[in-house]
């Protein structure tokens, strides 16, 4: 059997699709794969801030379209780039083992965040990362930053920026882990919900393909991202909301630390529940965060 895997054209996206392809072939002997490369809205516009692109799922909709129109059988996404509302006709068949979900600092000379001089420029295209940096180092200048992982690292190494914040998983998958000067630890730096996780999506009318893909699903990874994305979903947010969340599993207990950054001295909260109640835990966290701001979930 042959499976066609849709992915963005960026080097990181292609590396992630290759990781999934290797997992699928290992789990399904005799399977062969080919890649369908897609340009998305986020790929075509590499300069505008994410929030200015005018749609949620700027890095996902084009890949999903290839799945829906039959050009591909499987789609691979950075899970954090997917809108929280599912698209009719598609579902997530697998969440492979999650990579390191944390953020990292890339800097000239390997300086840690605390070592950057006042007024130094630090690049990020994320509202969440901007808010977290400003909370810890209000004396730094946050500079908008877009482009693929290699481009962003190069802007630091070439001296255009003093530092940048990127995902540990993205740097590792792109072969740029040596550029990490410091891993930015929770709770001061909570990652984006589902950061480091991959989502493997299929059509709902393809049970044979779905059965193949389910073999690479990791139950613990699915549980933690379910909690994190339920939190984001009930905030009615997307990648433009300065929300962070990180869930971990210890035995049967699921622990979720989540929050909104930029408008509170104590922006995070931690809740505990059962792994089987991941969605409910995320919703509870969202309700408490919104209640603290005089809002309600829908």
**Token pair of 93 as six digits:** 């068949």
Any catalytic annotation for residue 81?
yes
Q: Active-site residue among 61, 152, 155, 233? A: 152
Any catalytic annotation for residue 277?
no
Any catalytic annotation for residue 128?
yes
Q: Active-site residue among 129, 173, 222, 229? A: 129
**Token pair of 115 as six digits:** 């070592």
Number of H helices, E strands in the chain: 9, 13
Q: Active-site residue among 8, 128, 173, 203? A: 128
Q: How far apart are CA 90 and CA 88, in angstroms?
A: 6
Any catalytic annotation for residue 236?
no
Q: Active-site residue among 111, 134, 137, 146? A: 146
How many C-beta atoms surround the C-beta of residue 21 within 10 A?
A: 20
Q: Active-site residue among 98, 203, 229, 239? A: 239
Any catalytic annotation for residue 215?
no
Pairing, β 2-8 against β 32-38: parallel
Q: Active-site residue among 8, 61, 80, 155? A: 80
Q: How far apart are CA 75 and CA 93, in angstroms?
A: 10
Q: What are phi and psi of 74, to 5 degrees?
A: -140, 145
- DSSP per residue, 81-135: GS-SSPPTTEEEEE-PPP----EEEEEGGG--GGGSPTT-EEEES-HHHHHHHHH
**Token pair of 237 as six digits:** 């947010």
Q: How far apart are CA 93 and CA 169, in angstroms?
A: 21
Q: Active-site residue among 8, 61, 81, 102? A: 81
Cα 294 from chain centre = 28
Bin 30: left if φ > 0, else alpha if -120 < ψ < 50, else beta.
Answer: left
Any catalytic annotation for residue 214?
no
Helix axes of 278-292 and 219-234: crossing angle, nearest 10 degrees: 30
Any catalytic annotation for residue 203?
no
Which positions are annotated as active-site residues? 80-81, 128-129, 146, 152, 239
């Amino acid at each position: 059997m042959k499976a066609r895997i849709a992915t963005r054209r960026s080097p990181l996206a292609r590396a992630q699709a290759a990781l999934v392809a290797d997992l699928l072939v290992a789990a399904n002997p005799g399977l062969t794969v080919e890649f369908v490369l897609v340009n998305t809205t986020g790929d075509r516009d590499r300069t505008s801030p994410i929030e200015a692109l005018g749609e949620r799922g700027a890095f996902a909709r084009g890949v999903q379209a290839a799945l829906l129109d039959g050009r591909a059988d499987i789609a691979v996404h950075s899970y954090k780039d997917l809108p929280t509302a599912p698209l009719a006709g598609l579902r997530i068949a697998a969440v492979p083992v999650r990579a390191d979900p944390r953020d990292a600092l890339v800097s000239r000379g390997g300086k840690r965040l605390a070592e950057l001089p006042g007024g130094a420029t630090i690049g990020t295209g994320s509202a969440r990362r901007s808010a977290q940096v400003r909370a810890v180092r209000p004396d730094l200048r946050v500079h908008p930053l877009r482009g693929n992982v290699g481009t962003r690292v190069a802007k630091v190494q070439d001296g255009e920026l003093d530092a940048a914040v990127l995902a540990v998983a993205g740097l590792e998958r792109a072969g740029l882990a040596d550029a990490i000067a410091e891993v930015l630890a929770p709770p001061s730096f909570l990652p984006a919900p589902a950061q480091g996780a991959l989502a493997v999506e299929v059509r709902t009318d393809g049970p044979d393909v779905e059965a193949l893909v389910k073999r690479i699903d990791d139950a613990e990874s699915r549980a933690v991202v379910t909690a994190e994305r339920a939190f984001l979903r009930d905030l009615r947010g997307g990648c433009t909301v300065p929300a962070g969340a990180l869930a971990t599993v210890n035995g049967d207990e699921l622990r979720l630390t989540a929050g909104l950054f930029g408008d509170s001295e104590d922006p995070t909260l931690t809740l505990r529940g059962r792994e089987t109640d991941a969605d409910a835990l995320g919703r509870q966290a969202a309700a408490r965060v919104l209640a603290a701001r005089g809002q309600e979930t829908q």
